[in-house]
Each structure stands twice: as structure tokens, then as C-alpha cells.
Amino acid sequence: MPKASDRLIVGLGNPGSTYARTRHNIGFMTIDEIAREFSVTITGNQFGAAVGHGHIGGVRIVLAKPMLFMNRSGPPVLALSEALGTETENMLVIHDDMDLDLGRIKIKEKGGHGGHKGIRSLTDALGTGDFVRLRMGIGRPGIGADVVDHVLGEFTSEESARVTEQITRARDAVVTILCKGTRESMNIFNRKNL
């Protein structure tokens, strides 16, 4: 069993093939890219999450995708973090964010849920918002468009290349957070011109 020094990296999304390529699942997509790049096999169901163990730059990591719907992400993450002995400051959560334009990423050290139901479930379950977030911009829907339809809609073919670049940059941001710390990562990746 991993030790308390391991970093728990959680991607938020909805389980099942119906939601696999939707905007709400960009957290899952990023976890899958990290797993691919660092040869981490994500398998099974531990405490309601698909989990993989590996290393990045000498840091032991646990990748996790909660297998309950977005608004119920908190309990599986709490159970997994307790089993691993992971404190919230050693947790990194990757999630979609409508307040950022598609293609942008932003690292945040801690905070509230900002209306995001997955983050709200996490803060409720963990009893704190003191965990690092990697916010993945998906942009807002057009005027008069439905928010639920937007987040549960798939990326368009025109958006796909941009999303691929965004996920690659997010993967690099995770490596930087692990190896150089959150503050330095914020200085590098939070710039608007990226």
C-alpha cells in the first residue's frame, strides 16, 4: 500500500462511454493522458474509483477517476485518500471550468467550489477546500444556450486540436507541480498568453 507521501491526482468526470468525450470529462481525459505518458495502468474499482499507481520524476503517484457521477465525486475520493493516508495538501484535482476559455488552464492552491458540483462534493466530503486544483477551461455556452447541454456536450471537431494541446499542457503542469511545487507552476502555467 502506498505511503502518505504519495500524491493523489484526481480527475473529475462522469463514468461510462456516453460521457467519455464530453466537456465535463476533460479531467478524466487528462488523467488518461498522464497514465499513457508515464505508463500507469488504471484498473479496477477501489472505493468507487478507477485507480492506477506509478511514478513521475521520482514522486510516487496515485491516479484516480471517481466512478460515481460528478456531483457524487467526494465520497470515493475521501475513502481513497483515507485508505492511502493522503492529506488534502498532497491532493491535486483536475476539473473542467466554464470561467476559463477553451484551451486555457489555471492552477489554484485552494478555495471554494465556485458552483462546480464535483468540487462542491469534494469539499463537502473532505471538509475542506485546501487542495490544489488544475482548472481546465471549456468556455461558456453561447447566449441562450443551456449550461447542462454545454458541459455534457462533446467537443466539436474544430475544438479537438485545441483540446489535445490543452491536455498536453495540463499533463506538463502536473509534472511541474510534482517536481517544482505549486507556486512555481502557477508562475509558468497561469499566464493568459499560453
Report if residue 2 sits inside a domain. no
- Does 150 fall in a domain? yes
What CATH number should be reported for the domain holding residue 125?
A: 3.40.50.1470
- The pTM for the full model equals 0.92
Residues 6 or more apart in contact with residue 160 via CB below 8 angstroms: none
Active site residues: 24
Tell me, yes or no, whether 70 lies in a domain.
yes
Q: Can you give the pLDDT at residue 114?
A: 73
Determine whether the annotation assigns residue 69 to a binding site. yes
What is the model's pLDDT at position 192? 62
CB atoms within 10 A of CB 184: 12
Residue 142 lies in a domain: yes
**Residue 144 included in any domain:** yes
Q: Is residue 184 part of a domain?
A: yes
Alpha-carbon distances of 61 from 40, 52, 54, 69, 104, rounded to whole Å: 9, 8, 5, 23, 24
Query: Is residue 45 domain-resident?
Result: yes
Q: For position 80, what pLDDT does the model report?
A: 92
**Ranges in the chain, pLDDT < 70:** 1-5, 192-194
Q: Was 90 annotated as part of a binding site?
A: no
Q: According to the model, what pLDDT value does residue 5 have?
A: 56
Residue 115 lies in a domain: yes
Expressed as residue numbers, the domain containing 155 is 7-189
Number of H helices, E strands in the chain: 6, 7
pLDDT tens-digit readout, 11-61: 999 998 888 888 889 999 999 999 999 999 998 788 899 999 999 988 999
Say what the pLDDT of residue 40 is: 94
Total domains in the fold of the chain: 1
**38 is known to lie in a ligand binding site:** no
